[in-house]
Structure 1
Amino acid sequence: MSSRIYLSSPHMGTLERRYVEDAFASNWIAPLGPHVDAFQEEFARCVGSPHALALSSGTAALHLALQLVGVGPGDDVLVSTLTFSASVNPIRYLGASPVFIDSERTSWNMDPALLEEELATRARAGRLPRAVIVVHLYGQSADLDPLLAACDRYGVPVVEDAAEALGSSYKGRAPGTFGRVGIYSFNGNKILTTSGGGMLVSSDGELIQHALKLATQARDAAPHYQHSEIGYNYRLSNVLAAIGRGQLLVLEDRVLARRANHAFYAKAFADLPGIAFMPEAPWGRHTRWLTTLTIDPEAFGADRETVRTALEKENIEARPVWKPMHLQPVFASFDRRRGSVSEELFERGLCLPSGSNLTSQELERVVEVVRAVARNPVRRTGS
């Protein structure tokens, strides 16, 4: 069998190794050190945020973000339904309840009109949410201006989950830097990876300082170990920060490579009926972290799952679009505002191999399988 083509594998170079060797040579292996400090400064400069804090994961960053904007037991938090569960789990960590908001079709992200409706309804009932989490999916920013304006009207803080959107833009600025606080992920499949890691950013320096304290077991300023609040072990190691510094230097190259993958697929499938790619919204740059499309089974001749399994048989990894959170068993009891758009995107959506290290031969293998399914449709019942 041919070697496996992964959805989004890590892409390492020589710069990362040089920084890691420096970390070993200096014996800075702990979750602090010069590479952590430098990575935070360089990342903040990259996204245009005054302050950044390197953490062990994007989930850890989101957990701290929600706690720092005041989310606690009994609160409600509005959040995109079309996302990964890591966008929602920290809400439950804090004893709060998610309320799911459907997507709009231009960017596949949170629908500003539905958010406005939900906030207005809750304001009349005297039950405004404690926060809103806006998720930026697959390398594309949500339409932030109307989302932020709606939250502003009701005094609700915005937390941006930009885990998938590093390198993208919204009207010339980086998503993740518009709300009260933003988070990024450096998981192994992300456009920039530290193996595992994340970043918390904010224009509020005091918030970042408090986050730093909480992330280091909430140790008080004392010569002995003293704690006046509950903390966590959420800091990023100096070794992983060294990897991140090397990755950050080639971020633009990685974005351009992924956008080139998308352009390759778009050209290769241009004549196939029933295939529609995730749009690039007019308000900014889509990194195409993942090249994502929908398949109309009537027009194409086969459904999304037939295409995915055909790729898997050829040792090619592809995945359905995120299953909406309101359809997940663990979150089925929570409120939502609509959901038909995200449900349709899940039903028809497929993520194709998108790594910045894909070769032209690997891209051709993916195209060949998809085109073969279109030529020889095998219909399935259900999905």
Structure 2
Amino acid sequence: MSKDKIWLSSPHMGGHEQKFIQEAFDENWVAPLGPNVNGFEKDLQNYLGEEKHIAALSAGTAAIHLALIMLGVKQNDFVICQSMTFSASANPILYQGANPVFVDSESATWNLCPTQLNNAIEGTIKKHGVKPKAIIGVHLYGMPYLADEINAIAKKYDIPVIEDAAEALGSNFENQNCGTLGQYGILSFNGNKIITTSGGGALVCNTEKEKQRAVFFATQSRDQAPHYQHSEVGYNYRMSNITAGIGRGQMMVLDSHVQARRKNYEFYKENLGHLPGFEFIDEPKGIYSNRWLSTVLIHPEKAGFTREDLRLSLEKENIETRPLWKPMHMQPLFENCDYYGEKVAENLFNVGLCLPSGSNLTDQDRERILNGILKMAKK
């Protein structure tokens, strides 16, 4: 295996990051907080909309956890969560001692199914005698969920929505930026995301008061006192000034990264969409995806091989691909949790593959990936 590795989604620096990091070192703002944190939050606010208020945090997972705390989720409460997602969407529910209720996907966006969401709310009330405390919806692989329908159901039952936009910075629904569609928005800047701070995330709030409350929890819930005094449980969830410096530089290339990712998707669809058994997901009307990851469904009865056959074949070529997220209701950790749906998410998992999607893929990389797939298709 002498060929260089083609990664699924590797970090892509734009060249401006070092300037902000160097300033932090020159001014000795190496400790947490500082000008880069404030600047990064402002950059995100400018991008998402001035009416939003951003708290830069250590991870997107931390942002979900704080959102649950802010909404008063406690032990034995119930929280609805999209089943087809990464476990970070659901784990914070367990942090609070609450019970996840998982909901199936719909086939247009692969996200939270409105019909099954309604069933889950009604079912939880009937089975447990209480209304769910929150709904966690996820923009899977950068494809926005059906926000109008989800928000309408949430409003009907007066249940707040936590919008997990960890994969969707740069996407929008009806020209409204993802991350601004729920009661709270969640962003991630993990190393594989559309932009990265190496590790980090953010909580998007509707008011400055909410932001300051989140920052309070994220900095160990220190009361106003000359000494260290704590009346509530706190967390070490704030982003560092060094990390935020990387984010400031990355914000300068966000739009170009989105365009590069969308270019990857168009390449795959144009060159592979005609193959028997290959299916790509289109953007429904009013939806704009950053195409964080390009995905393909491989129907083996038509293709003549499975998703796993192709994954292993490309692995031999030193090309990284991965199956779609294994739905949470199929995970051992959550096997005893309530689930509402049929087999949409399960079927997607069984035939779906994530293709290399980095914004730093070269033309040569794409041709090598294409040739690897076509070689499999010709067998």
| TM class by smaller structure | over 0.9
CA distance in 1, matches of 2:236, 2:42: 21
Amino acid at match of 1:192: I
5+ unaligned residues in a row in structure 2: which ranges? none
1:224-266 CA-partner distances (Å, limit 9, x unpaired): 1111001011110101101101101111100000000111111
Tell whether the 8 Å contact from 1:81 to 1:339 is kept in structure 2 after alignment. Answer: no
> Taking structure 1 as the reference length, what is the TM-score of the superposition?
0.96
CA distance in 1, matches of 2:5, 2:217: 41
CA distance in 2, matches of 1:23, 1:201: 25
Match of 2:17 in 1: 16
1:137-190 CA-partner distances (Å, limit 9, x unpaired): 101110011111111111111111100000000000112212111110000000
5+ unaligned residues in a row in structure 1: which ranges? 377-383
Question: SS in structure 2 opposite 1:54?
Answer: strand
Q: Output aligned runs, 1:212-227, within 5 Å.
A: 212-227=215-230
Tell whether the 8 Å contact from 2:273 to 2:279 is kept in structure 1 after alignment. Answer: no
Amino acid at match of 2:78: D
The correspondence for 1:114, drawn from 92, 113, 116, is 116
Q: Output aligned runs, 1:302-317, within 5 Å.
A: 302-317=305-320
Aligned length: 376
Aligned-pair RMSD on alpha carbons? 1.0
Tell whether the 8 Å contact from 1:107 to 1:142 is kept in structure 2 after alignment. Answer: yes
Tell whether the 8 Å contact from 1:143 to 1:283 is kept in structure 2 after alignment. Answer: no
Amino acid at match of 2:80: L
Match of 2:377 in 1: 374
Q: Output aligned runs, 1:1-383, within 5 Å.
A: 1-48=2-49, 49-124=51-126, 126-376=129-379
CA distance in 2, matches of 1:112, 1:204: 28
Tell whether the 8 Å contact from 2:78 to 2:132 is kept in structure 1 after alignment. Answer: yes
Amino acid at match of 1:75: D
CA displacement at 1:119 relative to structure 2: 1.8
CA distance in 2, matches of 1:65, 1:184: 12
1:261-302 CA-partner distances (Å, limit 9, x unpaired): 111111111321110112212222111100001000011110
4+ residue segments displaced more than 4 Å = none
Tell whether the 8 Å contact from 2:124 to 2:130 is kept in structure 1 after alignment. Answer: yes
CA displacement at 1:122 relative to structure 2: 3.5
Question: SS in structure 1 opposite 2:297?
Answer: strand
Tell whether the 8 Å contact from 2:136 to 2:162 is kept in structure 1 after alignment. Answer: yes
CA distance in 2, matches of 1:338, 1:284: 24
> Taking structure 2 as the reference length, what is the TM-score of the superposition?
0.97
CA distance in 2, matches of 1:183, 1:277: 26
CA distance in 2, matches of 1:128, 1:176: 25
